[in-house]
Structure 1
Amino acid sequence: MEMTVNGEPRVIATDAALDLIAEIKRDHPDILFHQSGGCCDGSSPMCYPANEFIVGDSDVKLGEIGGVPVYIGASQFEAWKHTQLIIDVVPGRGGMFSLDNGREKRFLTRSRLFGGGEACAVPDATDRRSGAQYSSR
């Protein structure tokens, strides 16, 4: 599975998300994301200590943001494979088991269809790995 579609990464992060990742990494240096499938914590991107989450055989690695791997379950990947996921931050409480909980801000997944079709309005986002700029404008 390619981590890009036509040269575009499958997952990117806004500057706010990258800042929150850096904050969390100060307390937990080795972390990962798993895109929740909608059970206890809705469909939030969940952030876990890497040694406390077992990546399953059917999980798909979408890529990395801020040096942190991002995974999604295979069945959910099938539904979202035509979209680029944009990890953002909004005010609020994080998922019950996610490391953003208790920080008064939480991760949120936004998306856009590959090929330029926007699924929602997306704030400017930078993929800091490549320096590429992404914008909904």
Structure 2
Amino acid sequence: MTDEPTRVAVTAEAANLLRTLAAQHGPLMFHQSGGCCDGSAPMCYPVGMFITGLGDVHLATLDVPGIDPIDVFMSVSQFEYWKYTHLTIDVVSGRGAGFSVEGPSGMRFIVRSRMLTTPELEHFDLIPRG
């Protein structure tokens, strides 16, 4: 196990919902929405249902115990605004307006954010290492 900084984390509550969704839908992935559908919500899809490409940045791979790793992506243009930010995927009660697979569960994924710390900024080569 390493203490290397990551750009994305997941709360225990979101991890529980992801395990339930993976049992229903198979391997999952996230794409951080850029304002369409549910504002800027993390949209969860079965792998292969949302196609990423050169216009997307791979932010992280989430290791949620009990299920396959979950890749998290964001569009390149949106990443320019968010590159100094750490995201935590969480879940709250309510139904989102998007196409994310948790919709029927009565829960919806949200993203909580904070600015990256100086060591994280250095790790991601966003400031010179000192």
- What range is the shorter-chain TM-score in? 0.7 to 0.9
Deviation for aligned residue 1:94: 3.0
SS at match of 1:21: helix
Cα deviation, 1:20-45, whole Å, max 9, x if unaligned, reads: 11110001112110000011221110
Q: Which residue of structure 2 lines up, in the alignment, with residue 39 of structure 1? A: 36
After superposition, the CA RMSD in angstroms is: 1.5
5+ long unaligned stretches in structure 2: 119-130
Taking the aligned partners of 2:114 and 2:90, their CA distance within structure 1 comes to: 13
TM-score, normalisation: structure 2: 0.80
Partner amino acid for 2:18? Answer: I
Q: Is the contact between residue 93 and residue 101 of structure 1 (CA under 8 Å) also seen in structure 2?
A: yes
What is the TM-score when the length of structure 1 is the normalising length? 0.76
Q: Which runs of 5+ in 1 are unaligned?
A: 1-5, 117-137
Deviations 1:70-98 (A, max 9, x none): 00000111100001000001111134311
Identity %: 46
Q: Which protein has the larger Cα radius of gyration, Structure 1 or Structure 2?
A: 2
The aligned counterpart of 1:89 is: 91
Deviations 1:44-76 (A, max 9, x none): 100011111111212001112222000000011
Q: Is this contact kept in 2: 1:44–1:95, CA < 8 A?
A: no
1:20 alignment partner AA: L
Query: Secondary structure at 1:52's aligned position in 2?
Result: coil
| 3-state SS of 2:103 partner | coil
More helix as a share of residues? 2
